[in-house]
Structure 1
Amino acid sequence: MPISPNQGSTAGGTTVTITGTNLANASSVHFGSKTATITANTPTSVTVTSPSGTGTVPVTVTTPAGTSNPLSFFYIGAPFKSSLSPITGVTAGGNTVTINGTGLSTATTVHFGAATATPTVINDGQLTVAVPAGTGPGPVSVSVTTAGGTNNGFSYTYVDAPTVTSLNPNSGPASGGTVVTVTGTNLSTTQSVTFGGVPAAFSVISDTSLSVVSPPTPDGQPGPADVVVTTTGGSANIGFTYLAGPGI
C-alpha cells in the first residue's frame, strides 16, 4: 500500500494519496494518533489532508472490514535560512545566489518577490539558485519552499545595469594622473573602474557621475584604452586615449 508523498509539513495540510486494495468506504485515516481529513475515496485509493505532527508516524486506513497495515509518514519542519549571498544583482537576472540554512534538502522553489526559480540542492544546509529577472530595480523578499513549508525573511536587491555616455576629458598623458569625470546612469554602486585593464582610483559623485584618476599605462606608451565601469548591476565601457608626451 504505497503512500505519496511520504513526507510533509509539521503544520499539516499536505495532500496525501494512499493506494492499495479494498479501500472503498474508508471511515478514517490515522497519522499516528491524529485523524486526517478524507477528500477522495475509491476502492483502490484514499486521498487525505494530513494533520499536524512531528517525527515519523504510522499511517493506517480503516474501512468496515478493518484497519490496514501501517505505512510511515515523515514530518518535516519549515526551513531556516541563515545567509544569502550575494544580496544584489542585475535586474535582468541570471546570476547565481547561494542560500545557507537548515532543512533545505527538500527545497522545490525559491521566490524572488513574485518571480520563482527552481533551486539546485547541495545538501540539507545549502542550495544555489539562478536569480530570475526582476520587474525593475529595487529590493524583493526571498523565500524558500520545502516539503516542510515556506520560510522567508531575506531581501535581494535588483540593480539596473550601468551606462557610460561620456568622459571629460577623454584623453590624457600615458603617465596617468588625469582627473576624468565619467557621466552615465546607475553608477552609485560602482565597484571598480579600469583603464585598459589597469585599476583606477575613483569616487562616486552621484548616480550619474564619477570622478576617476587615470592610471599610467603598463608600458608607458600612448594609445587607446577601454575604460570599464563595473557596478553591482553589471559593466559598461567607453574609449579613452593616452597621449604621447612632447619631445624636443
Structure 2
Amino acid sequence: MVSTTNGAGLSGSPSYNYNGVATLATPVVSSVSPTSGPAAGGNTVSIFGSGFTNATAVAFGSLAATSFTVVLASLITAVAPQGPSGGGSVSVHVTGPGGTSTSGPTYTYIAAPVVSSVNPTSGPAAGGNTVSIIGSGFTNATAVAFGSVAATSFTVVSATLITAVAPPGPSGGSSVSVRVTGPGGTSTSGPTYTYIAAPVVS
C-alpha cells in the first residue's frame, strides 16, 4: 500500500483502478460544528468528514474560507468568511486533489439585530425608564446597551420587540445609541435615547 503525506505530516491512502493507476478520493463533508454563526464571519468552524488530506480549499457557499487548517484526514478547522448581511444557509465544501465534496451539511449565517426605533426616546438621567425597542433579529438577544452601559434589565417580547429598563446615564444628560446584541452580532447605527438632566434648585 502506498501512502501520501501532506505538509502537516498527515497521511492518506489512495485507491487504485484496475490498471493500477492511483486515484484520490473526493473529500466528503459529513458535519460541521457549530452549525451557525454571525453574518460578519470570523467564526471558527470544525469540519468533519473524510478525504481531507492535502485539501487545497474550503468554501462556505461560493466564498472561500478566510483561512483553514487540515488537522487530520477527517478534520479541518476553518474561519468562516463574511456572509450575506441578511443571513442565510450555505453548503460547506472541501476541495482536494481528488475533487470537491458535493452535497453535505450547511452552515447558517445569522443576521445581526437591527434597531429601528425606541419609545420613549428620552427619560431621566437617573435611569429606571422602561423603553420599548423596535426592530428585527431580536430572537435570542443576549444584551441591550444604552451607549456603553448595559440595560438594567430587558425582556425579549418577540423577534421585533424588546422592553428594557434604561440604566443611569450622565448626570448632566446626553444622547446615546441603543444597541442590541445577539448570536449574529451587535446592531450598528440606530436611534438614540436622550437622558434628561434633573432640574437644579439653587
Would you call these one fold, judging by a TM-score over 0.5?
A: yes
Q: What is the one-letter code of the residue matched to 1:123?
A: V
Over 3 Å counting, the alpha-carbon distance change for 1:135 and 1:165 in structure 2 is closer
Q: Aligned residues, how many?
A: 186
- The answer as to 2:202 corresponding to 1:202 is no
Over 3 Å counting, the alpha-carbon distance change for 1:240 and 1:107 in structure 2 is same
Structure 1 gap ranges (5+): 13-30, 38-47, 52-74
Deviation at 1:110, TM superposition (A): 2.6
Deviations 1:182-205 (A, max 9, x none): 112233243321112111122222
Paired with 1:137 and 1:83, the residues of 2 have a C-alpha distance of 18
Task: Considering fraction of residues, name the structure with more strand.
Answer: 1
TM-score (norm 2): 0.69
Paired with 1:198 and 1:105, the residues of 2 have a C-alpha distance of 48
Paired with 2:197 and 2:68, the residues of 1 have a C-alpha distance of 53
- The answer as to 2:85 corresponding to 1:138 is no
Deviation at 1:163, TM superposition (A): 2.5
- The answer as to 2:170 corresponding to 1:170 is no
Alignment correspondent of 1:88:
37
Q: Rg: which structure is higher?
A: 1
TM-score (norm 1): 0.58
Paired with 2:76 and 2:140, the residues of 1 have a C-alpha distance of 28
- Specify the SS of the correspondent of 1:88: strand
Q: What is the one-letter code of the residue matched to 1:115?
A: S
Alignment correspondent of 1:65:
none
Alignment correspondent of 2:78:
128
Paired with 1:135 and 1:238, the residues of 2 have a C-alpha distance of 20
Cα RMSD, aligned residues only: 3.8
**1:100-119 pair list within 5 angstroms:** 101=48, 104-112=52-60, 114-118=61-65, 119=67
Higher RCO (CA < 8 A, seq sep 6+): 2
Alignment correspondent of 1:222:
173
Paired with 2:175 and 2:86, the residues of 1 have a C-alpha distance of 35
Q: What is the one-letter code of the residue matched to 1:208?
A: T
